[in-house]
């Protein structure tokens, strides 16, 4: 049996020889020149997003929305069947009251995200990574796996395949399957080497976007646990991003992964095959995918933030008009009922037929309703476009 060994080939490349799984190389196999322009755009967008007005209402609403969206996305990537709306409802339940395994996975993820958030850096430091420990990784796995009725997946414990046990990652749809290391001696040795590589000064000084994505990539290649590797790997990526100030985008990017799931899975295998062919840019496409995802995600976050700001200004103006007597209580309630239940734009006639509106105008004539609509439109709280009523903040 060959001896385990580690050799630094240069400041950013660590080659590892295992007992049974052959050699592994942790390296920056990317084309920095091709990535730099997009990385710069991501960091510029994140700086601008971090400067967005920090009104408590905006922060609270965005946190709740991103939490539900992130957990829905990472759970769906792993085959979860809850919708985003169902996910949001389950996350509001006291975890102590949850018994079903599928629901427990969601509340576990919420606890894991909250644990990562405690390490959040307020200022964006794009090339100042912080070290992570093996204990961090084991904690994340424990958080996503705790109290879940899964066989052969003890929290914090690495795999140790027996001779008859096989672990396959991937499938033919996404570029084929891969057999990760299977004996615990190799897995433990690779995990320690991976941590050493991630915490090396030359790697800590790299773009945090590159370091986070490659941490995720190499972790999935080792695939150290029986289950929960995907969820844990994305949380590791999130932790590295949070440590350097990538506020909200650190987990919101999971929505991009879920929406592009075939490319996401396919790139793991594609990059692995490029490595086998000794391609000097073997991991470039996976890193580029993540960086593109971050840019798209942060732009979406800007839109969400601006939308919330406009909505809060709208509500302030609306409340002011009621308090000054410019809108009657009934007219105010008419607007409130429409925007609260807004799932599609309606014509005045369609809105009038809604049960809640009928109740509001009980003992009032239809003519009174249309006079109220006319006044509301004239004051600019609702706009008419192609016959539909549209709130003016949209």
Residue 227 in marked binding region? yes
Per DSSP, helices labelled H in 244-283 are: 249-259, 261-276
**223 catalytic residue (yes or no):** yes
In Å, what is the CA distance from 16 to each residue of 7, 178, 191, 213?
6, 19, 11, 20
Residue 325 in marked binding region? no
Q: Which of 48, 56, 28 is nearest to 284 (CA)?
A: 28
- CA 248, CA 246: separation in Å to the nearest integer? 6
- CB atoms near residue 33 (< 10 Å): 7
Question: For the chain, first and last CA: distance in Å?
Answer: 67
- CB atoms near residue 170 (< 10 Å): 17
Taking CB atoms within 8 Å and a gap of at least 24, the contacts of 299-307 are: 299/45, 300/252, 301/49, 301/62, 301/66, 301/248, 301/249, 301/252, 302/45, 302/48, 302/49, 302/52, 304/62, 304/65, 305/49, 305/52, 305/58, 305/62, 307/393, 307/394
Q: Which of 208, 278, 203 is nearest to 239 (CA)?
A: 208
Enter the DSSP assignment of 126.
Answer: T
Residue 164 in marked binding region? no
Residue 41 in marked binding region? no
Residue 54 in marked binding region? no
Residue 231 in marked binding region? yes
Furthest-apart CA atoms within the chain: distance in Å? 90
Q: Which of 214, 216, 204 is nearest to 244 (CA)?
A: 204
Active-site hit among 174, 216, 223, 284: 223
Residue 230 in marked binding region? yes
Phi-psi region of 386 (alpha: psi -120 to 50; beta: other; left: phi over 0): left
Q: Which of 144, 217, 212, 156 is nearest to 184 (CA)?
A: 156
Residue 333 in marked binding region? no
Helix (H, G, I), strand (E, B) or coil at 170: strand
**What amino acid positions are annotated as catalytic residues?**
223
Q: Which residues are annotated as a binding site?
A: 227-234
Q: Summarize the annotated binding site for ATP as residue ranges.
A: 227-234
């Amino acid at each position: 049996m060959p001896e385990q060994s580690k050799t630094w080939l240069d400041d950013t490349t660590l080659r590892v020889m295992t007992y049974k799984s052959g050699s592994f190389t942790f390296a920056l196999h990317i084309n920095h020149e091709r990535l730099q322009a997009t990385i710069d755009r991501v960091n510029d967008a994140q700086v601008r997003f971090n400067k967005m007005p920090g009104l408590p209402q905006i922060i609270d609403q965005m946190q709740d929305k991103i939490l539900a969206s992130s957990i829905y996305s990472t759970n769906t990537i792993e085959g979860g069947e809850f919708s985003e709306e169902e996910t949001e409802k389950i996350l509001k339940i006291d975890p102590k009251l949850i018994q079903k395994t599928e629901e427990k996975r969601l509340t576990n993820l919420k606890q894991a995200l909250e644990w990562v958030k405690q390490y959040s850096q307020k200022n964006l430091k794009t090339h100042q990574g912080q070290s992570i420990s093996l204990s961090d990784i084991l904690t994340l796995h424990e958080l996503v796996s705790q109290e879940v009725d899964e066989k052969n997946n003890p929290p914090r414990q690495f795999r140790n395949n027996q001779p008859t046990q096989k672990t396959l990652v991937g499938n033919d749809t996404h570029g084929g399957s891969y057999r990760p290391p299977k004996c615990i001696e190799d897995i433990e040795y690779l995990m320690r080497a991976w941590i050493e590589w991630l915490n090396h000064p030359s790697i800590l000084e790299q773009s945090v976007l590159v370091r986070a994505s490659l941490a995720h990539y190499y972790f999935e290649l080792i695939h150290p646990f029986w289950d929960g590797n995907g969820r844990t790997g994305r949380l590791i990526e999130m932790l590295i991003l949070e440590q350097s100030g990538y506020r909200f985008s650190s987990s919101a990017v999971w929505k991009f992964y879920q929406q592009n799931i075939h490319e996401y899975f396919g790139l793991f295998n594609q990059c692995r095959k490029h490595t086998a062919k000794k391609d000097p840019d073997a991991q470039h496409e996976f890193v580029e995918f993540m960086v593109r995802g971050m840019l798209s995600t942060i732009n979406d976050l800007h839109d969400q933030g601006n939308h919330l700001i406009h909505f809060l200004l709208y509500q302030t103006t609306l409340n002011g008009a009621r308090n000054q007597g410019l809108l009657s209580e009934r007219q105010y309630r008419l607007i409130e009922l429409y925007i609260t239940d807004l799932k599609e734009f309606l014509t005045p006639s369609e809105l009038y037929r809604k049960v809640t509106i009928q109740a509001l105008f009980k003992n009032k004539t239809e003519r009174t309703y249309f006079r109220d609509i006319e006044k509301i439109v004239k004051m600019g709280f609702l706009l008419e476009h192609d016959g539909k009523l549209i709130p003016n903040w949209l």
